[in-house]
Every structure is written in structure tokens, then in C-alpha cells.
Amino acid sequence: MKKKYNIAVVGATGAVGQMMIKILLEKKFPFNEIFLLASKKSNGKKINILGNQFTVQSLDEFDFKKVDIAMFSAGADISKKYAQVAVKNNAIVIDNTSFFRYEENIPLIVPEVNGDDIIKYKETGIISNPNCSTIQMLVAIKPIHDVSKIKRINVCTYQAVSGSGNLAIEELKNQVTDFVNSEKLKINVYPKQIAFNVIPQIDMFMENGYTKEEMKMVWETKKILDNKIEVNPTTVRVPVFYGHSEAIHLELEKRIEASKVKDILKSYGNGIVLVDEHINGGYPCAANECEDSNNVFVGRIREDISCSAGINMWVVSNNIRKGAAYNSVQIAELLINNYL
Ligand code: A2P
């Protein structure tokens, strides 16, 4: 293990990129230098994060030879074009986009679930960070799967706009203001207005009628946790800034009582926080629990009254932190602690 590492953050002006830098600082990641990379238009821009001043550089002209680990979060097209450039210059890539996720020889890692798979990075120099909705679901259900195998998951998501980046955050703010002022709403990022609305489409439609976000949950659950698990997802965008919520219904091989599930999750620790009381407000909510937290919050645990070995739960987590930036930094920590 080297003492200190040079890190590049690609997409450093974006919602996830900014959070990556914040978490590297919060976790006191052993870095020499963090290089902030973005498009040409951001070249020279000064950014202050937790009292540290950084200058953004243009990705086009950057020399990856200076870097040990490159964390990409600037969209799939940028990963397609530049991830291999970083690898050729001996940087290890942690990619937050979906571009490499489904390639067999590229590990797709949630450290609490399949951290050991990271060793496969040696084949390609690339590690993929999963989709935000998949990460929080798998963290919450892994300890249950360890006790009684999950056969099938029905999941409906309620996803925050920050998952679509800074432009989407602005779009929700602007639409709320325009709505209150009785002005015409401007619609650019989403297919319909997101203010005071609920949109049952995330990412593009696939041939089977599911959206790509939904199929990501199917493919990634199988790749990360267990290929035998069947997943039936509906993913929905809601007018929330930060924090995805998920109503998850599990069909298990053997029945476990709800109280036992609560005990399993409570004693598991490892990033899971149980908020489950049968009182008003005794459950996690995006705007309350997620703000500065890297945890996955679980509540509303109940036995499914319509099937013999079913468990229902409500899972909430900050999509920009555990769903993206924090998970990527955890991967970087696994790397330096075990392989570099
Ligand atoms: P920039 O601000 O210079 O456009 P978000 O997901 O929040 O929308 O952020 C997207 C990130 O990807 C931003 O940091 C953005 O930088 C970066 N990005 C977009 N296009 C490019 C590009 N062609 N080269 C490098 N970075 C890019």
C-alpha cells in the first residue's frame, strides 16, 4: 500500500462529482492530489469544497499518467471515450455510469454485498459502480438473503431528481417557482413536468416495455447478489431533491417473521439503520433521514398478508451518497487497502 494516492474526478462540477470530492475529504482518504476534470467550458473554474479550494481542468487535455485512481461520473459517452485512455496510462477506473456494468469481466461492486469480486479489476483496470436504486435495495436485502434465500423481488421506486444531475435539480426548483407564480412551466430534462407530479419513466424504454432503469435493477441484482433472483421493478421519478425511496416486496424460500427480519437488520449494522416503529412518523423519509447520511434506512417491515413467505419493507437512502459517490469511495478504499 502506497501512503498517498492521486485521484482524478471526471465530472467534478456535477452533482455526483462534487459529492465524490466531499466524501474523499470527509473520510480523510489518503490522497496527494485530487484533479477536478470537466468539460472545456469549466476549465479554470474555482470550486470550494469543505473549505478546500480546487481548480477545474479540461478533461480533453488531461494527462492520466499523474493518476492512481480515476473516478468517472460524467455520463456514459465520456466513460466510453476516456476510461480506456485512463487505463492505458495506468490509472484504475471506478466508473459510476452504466457503460461497462454488464460486461462479464468488469466487476460491479457494492462493498457490503460482493466486495470480494473487486479482484477481477485486474483483468481490465475498470470497476463499475452500480445504479443508485440497485445499491440501496441490495444493501437492505443482503442480510435477509443470507438467512432465507430470496426467490423474487417486486419493487417500486420513488426516485429523487438529483439522480438526473444538476440540471434536473434546477428544473424542479424553477418549475415550483413558476407554478407558484402562475407562470408557464419550462420542461427540458423530463418528458413531463416534475413539479407536483409523479413520472413512471426513468431512462429510455426498452423493447420489452420496461424502462432501462427498471432493467438495470434486474440485471444488476443478478450480477451482484444472486443470478437466481427474479426482479419485477417499476421505477418512478418524484419531485424530491435528494433520497430515493423504495417499496420492496420479497418472496423468500422459507418464511421469516417480521420481528426476526427486524432483528437481522438491527444487528447487521454495516450501513443499515432501522427506523421502524408503529407510530406516526415511525419510518424513514427522504427529506428527513437522507440529507448528510451515507446509510441505508429501513422501515415498514411487515409480513406479506397475501403470500406465505413474503416480507414487505420501505428502504430510503441518499442517491448521491450511498447510491453513487460514497459507494465509489468505498470501492477506492477496498482497492487501496487490498490491492495497491
Ligand atoms: P461541465 O460542468 O463542464 O459541463 P451532472 O450529472 O450533474 O449534470 O454533471 C455532469 C458532469 O459531467 C459535469 O461535471 C460536466 O462538466 C461533466 N461533463 C459533461 N460533458 C463533458 C465533457 N464533454 N467532458 C468532460 N466533462 C463533461
* Closest atom, ligand 1, to C-alpha of 59: 25
* Closest atom, ligand 1, to C-alpha of 169: 7
Q: Which residue in this structure is represented by grid cell 487535455?
A: 61
308: exposed, middle or buried (C-beta count within 10 Å: 0-12, 13-18, 19+)? exposed
What span, in angstroms and rounded, lies between the C-alpha atoms of 16 and 297?
20
Q: Are strands 310-317 and 296-303 parallel, antiparallel or unpaired?
A: antiparallel
Residue 253's nearest CA partner among 229, 231, 233 is 229
pLDDT by 10-residue block (mean), the chain, 340 residues: 90 97 98 98 97 97 97 98 98 97 97 97 98 98 98 98 96 98 98 98 98 98 98 98 98 98 94 97 96 96 96 98 98 96
With DSSP H G I counted as helix, E B as strand and the rest as coil, what are the percentages for the chain, rounded to 5? 40, 25, 35
List, in order, residues 6 or more apart from 99 with CB less than 8 Å away: 76, 79, 80, 83
* Closest atom, ligand 1, to C-alpha of 17: 14
Residue 323's nearest CA partner among 16, 106, 114 is 16
Q: Is 15 in the pocket of ligand 1 (CB under 6 A)?
A: yes
List, in order, residues 6 or more apart from 177 with CB less than 8 Å away: none
Q: Pocket of ligand 1, candidates 18, 34, 39: which has the most ligand atoms within 8 Å of its Cβ, to mutate?
A: 39
**Shortest-distance Cα residue to atom 6 of ligand 1:** 165
Would you state the pLDDT for residue 1? 63
Q: What's the pTM value of the predicted model, to 2 decimals?
A: 0.97
Q: Is 17 in the pocket of ligand 1 (CB under 6 A)?
A: yes
Helices (H), 154-273: 166-180, 212-224, 258-268
Would you state the pLDDT for residue 119? 97
Ligand 1 centroid from CA 128, angstroms:
19
Ligand 1 centroid from CA 168, angstroms:
13
